Amino acid sequence: MREGQLWPALQNYWHPVALSKDVAEKPLAVRLLDERLALFRLKTGLVCFRDLCIHRGTSLSLGRIEGDRVVCAYHGWNYSSSGVCVRIPALPPERPIPEKARVEAFRCQERYGLVWVCLGEPRAPIPEFPEYADPAFDAYFIGPTTWNCSAARAMENFVDQAHFAWVHDGILGDRNHPEFVPVDVERHGEELRWDMEEPANPMHPVKHRRVYRMYRPFTIHQRKEREDGEVEATFYANALFRPEKAPAFFW
């Protein structure tokens, strides 16, 4: 099966599509599951439209933002935050705006410095990252980085302990001790959970416990709880918003 065959089902999940800081005064064009989208930071908040003006098919991402409206670059149609056309400059004032003059708007939220979009009906909320808002933690943003593989394969790699001794020998693993202790994985709805005790290694000189939460479709939350009390949390959110190229990844 090709990953593209899964896209109809993947429409019903939240996906990170951009960094919040990259959606500013100008529209931003992105792709999600082969859908061309445009993000706009309006006065009323962030919106995500199909990147296609209903009038003559111009990319709305070529247009501009005026307060709480998106203005198409071609004939200046104005769209409200819900995607409804509220002004057609060429239309005589006595003529009403046609009912069908609207663009498709998708669910869009900002969380953890990322813009998340769901193209369908969300089967699950945006994955949890409680440490992000916890003042006891220092936050570091790494990425985005691009891997030339499917997002599912990248997820697998993140939790694949058996490769540490071979690919990360002397860093995360030890080739003289490649054995992997099996773990018990529990399913909780759209989420898998497990944890494991990890001995000290060259990268982590203190024994620690790793607690994993794997969220459908492509996000992992990992906590490393050291026996000296220090905690490190990683939120690994994979994005499929540029399928014509390699998937891009946010750490």
Identify the bridge partners of residue 250 per DSSP, sorted by sequence position. 237
Instruction: In angstroms, give the least distance from the CB of 78 to ligand FES.
Output: 9
Residue with smaller CB distance to ligand FES, 7 or 74: 74
Stretch that binds ligand FES, among 54-62, 143-151, 190-198, 235-243 (CB under 6 A): 54-62
Site string for ligand FES, 56-95 (x = CB under 6 A): x-x-------------x-xx-x------------------
Residue with smaller CB distance to ligand FES, 60 or 119: 60
For the chain, what is the HEC assignment?
Answer: CCHHHHHHHHCCCCEEEEEHHHCCCCCEEEEECCEEEEEEEECCEEEEEECCCCCCCCCHHHCEEECCEEECCCCCCEECCCCEEEECCCCCCCCCCCCCCECCEEEEEEECCEEEEECCCCCCCCCCCHHHHCCCCCCCCCCCEECCCCHHHHHHHHHCHHHHHHHCECCCECCCCCCCCCCCCEEECCEEEEEEEECCCCCCCCCEEEEEEEECCCEEEEEEEECCCCEEEEEEEEECCCCCCCCEEEC
Q: Kindly state whether residue 53 participates in binding ligand FES, applying the rule CB under 6 A.
A: yes
Binding residues for ligand FES restricted to 105-134, rule: CB under 6 A: none
Residue with smaller CB distance to ligand FES, 58 or 161: 58
Residue with smaller CB distance to ligand FES, 55 or 163: 55
Residue with smaller CB distance to ligand FES, 51 or 131: 51
Could you give the C-alpha distances from 61 to 39, 110, 139, 148, 224, in angstroms and in order?
7, 19, 31, 27, 41
Instruction: In angstroms, give the least distance from the CB of 25 to ligand FES.
Output: 20
Stretch that binds ligand FES, among 22-30, 53-61, 113-121, 205-213 (CB under 6 A): 53-61
Token digits for 188?
A: 């909780």
Instruction: In angstroms, give the least distance from the CB of 109 to ligand FES.
Output: 27
Instruction: In angstroms, give the least distance from the CB of 72 to ligand FES.
Output: 3
Residue with smaller CB distance to ligand FES, 53 or 240: 53
Stretch that binds ligand FES, among 32-40, 49-57, 95-103, 230-238 (CB under 6 A): 49-57
Instruction: In angstroms, give the least distance from the CB of 74 to ligand FES.
Output: 4
- Interface residue list for ligand FES (CB under 6 A): 53, 55-56, 58, 72, 74-75, 77
